[in-house]
Amino acid sequence: MPAATTSVRNARLADASAISQITASYAGKGLMLKRPVENIIEDIRNFFVAEYQGKVIGCCAVAFYTERLAEIRSLAVVEEFKGARIGRLLIEKAESVLGEEGVREVFVLTLNPGFFGRMGYKDIDKEYFPQKIWRDCTNCPKLMACDEIAMVRKL
């Protein structure tokens, strides 16, 4: 099972291209926003990667909104590793780091509520997170027809 031999670590600059490629496959399907390499490099300290046999096979990032509120975003796993618990490993790592930082509430915007529901996240109105709406959503092509579900979890 790949999850047993997969490590999750802080991303490094050398991982930016791999992160961009993984997220681009999801962006191409309309499942997340495109993250150019330059943007990933700027935010590299907020990314985590899953590595299996020396290859980056998944990623996620965190974004801080207040001292107690953060978002987990850009969760993506290479197609051949879907269902192998890699996404769960990435979320657990992000939540652990957020908890160490004193964050008490974490949210996601997702098209896969079943996955996050199994991890203890609960549905919530998007309006609960006005910071997110003004920071990122105004640049999204789906702004006026958003199909993502907001979910939150207390840490």
Tokens of 89: 């490993």
Which pLDDT belongs to residue 12? 98
- Domain boundaries in the chain? 2-154
d(CA 53, CA 2): 9
Which pLDDT belongs to residue 151? 94
Which pLDDT belongs to residue 140? 55
Which pLDDT belongs to residue 103? 97
Tokens of 62: 């965190």
**Of 3.20.20.150, 3.30.1370.10, 3.30.1490.20, 3.40.630.30, which CATH number belongs to 2-154?**
3.40.630.30
Which pLDDT belongs to residue 72? 97
Which pLDDT belongs to residue 132? 55
d(CA 50, CA 146): 29
- Please say whether the beta carbons of 62 and 90 come within 8 A: no
Tokens of 8: 């999750």
The per-residue pLDDT string of the chain (155 residues; one tens digit each, 9 = 90 and over) reads: 577 799 999 999 999 999 999 999 998 888 887 888 999 999 999 999 999 999 999 999 999 989 999 999 999 999 999 999 999 999 999 999 999 999 999 999 998 999 999 999 999 987 777 655 555 555 555 555 566 889 999 99
DSSP code string of 67-80: SSEEEEEEEEE-GG
Q: Which residues contact 148 (CB under 8 A, 6 or more apart)?
A: 109, 110, 111, 126, 142
